[in-house]
């Protein structure tokens, strides 16, 4: 019995001895332990810039009508404000919000009725700025806030990528590629 205890203690001591001299290891060996810790530190940080995800453009059913653009914005470490979106694939791009037709001051504007999913009870108006608060997600989605792309390049067909450049109030820009889908097709979820 004492022999087995002694053996266990000896095993234990060997384990402890192996674990203890860690600080005595040469620096390159220590850095092997430090690197994963540093990497974990890095990935735990939120991105400094807002991120653009799941961008897509619904092409008009009737050529010449505006296309609609949708995307998801994920706020960075600080607040930001989206003030403009541009693309070489359209003559002009506006940021819109959808509102009830009977809301005070709701203007009508060309192109509404042609949009899939828009009923006569809603209208849209240009939005001058869209806040992207730190860490928050902002969605541009059918029936809500969206982009309108006027005079789309006729060469943009379903499946094509539409480059979008988002301009923030502080001068930063974000770039993304939106997937073009046909008028009746599902978007990117
Ligand atoms: Cu609109």
Residue spans per domain, the chain: 2-44, 51-181
Listed range (2-6, 119-123, 154-158, 160-164) with the worst mean pLDDT: 2-6
What integer is the mean pLDDT of 41-69?
85
pLDDT at 83: 98
Are 59 and 183 spatial neighbours (Cβ–Cβ below 8 Å)?
A: yes
Span from the CA of 36 to the centroid of ligand 1 (angstroms):
48
Listed range (12-26, 59-73, 135-149) with the worst mean pLDDT: 12-26
Span from the CA of 172 to the centroid of ligand 1 (angstroms):
24
Span from the CA of 11 to the centroid of ligand 1 (angstroms):
74
Span from the CA of 98 to the centroid of ligand 1 (angstroms):
7
Q: Is the pLDDT of residue 19 over 90?
A: no
Are 88 and 160 spatial neighbours (Cβ–Cβ below 8 Å)?
A: no
Span from the CA of 65 to the centroid of ligand 1 (angstroms):
11
Span from the CA of 86 to the centroid of ligand 1 (angstroms):
15
Q: Is the pLDDT of residue 47 over 60?
A: no
pLDDT at 189: 84
Higher pLDDT, 100 or 3: 100
Q: Which residues surround ligand 1, an ion (CB under 5 A)?
A: 96, 124, 148
Q: Is the pLDDT of residue 150 over 80?
A: yes
Distance CA 131, CA 64 (A): 31
Span from the CA of 50 to the centroid of ligand 1 (angstroms):
23
Q: pLDDT digits over 108-127, tens only? A: 444 444 454 455 688 999 99
Higher pLDDT, 152 or 104: 152
Q: Which CATH architecture has domain 51-181?
A: Sandwich (2.60)
Q: DSSP label at 64?
A: T
Span from the CA of 154 to the centroid of ligand 1 (angstroms):
19
pLDDT at 30: 47
pLDDT at 100: 80
């Amino acid at each position: 019995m004492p022999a087995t205890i002694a053996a266990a203690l000896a095993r234990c001591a060997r384990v402890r001895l192996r674990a203890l001299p860690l600080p005595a290891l040469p620096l390159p060996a220590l850095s092997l332990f430090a690197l994963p810790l540093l990497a974990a530190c890095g990935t735990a940080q939120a991105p400094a810039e807002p991120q653009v995800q799941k961008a897509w453009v619904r092409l008009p059913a009737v050529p010449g009508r505006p296309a609609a653009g949708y995307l998801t914005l994920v706020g960075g470490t600080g607040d930001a404000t989206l003030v403009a979106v541009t693309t070489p694939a359209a003559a002009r791009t506006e940021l819109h919000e959808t509102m009830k037709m009977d809301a005070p001051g709701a203007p009508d504007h060309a192109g509404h009725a042609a949009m899939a999913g828009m009923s006569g009870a809603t209208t849209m108006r240009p939005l001058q700025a869209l806040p992207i608060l730190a860490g928050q997600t902002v969605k541009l989605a059918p029936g809500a806030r969206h982009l309108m792309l006027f005079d789309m390049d006729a060469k943009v067909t379903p499946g094509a990528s539409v480059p979008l450049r988002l301009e923030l109030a502080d001068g930063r820009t974000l770039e993304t590629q939106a997937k073009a889908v046909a008028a009746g097709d599902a978007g990117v979820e």
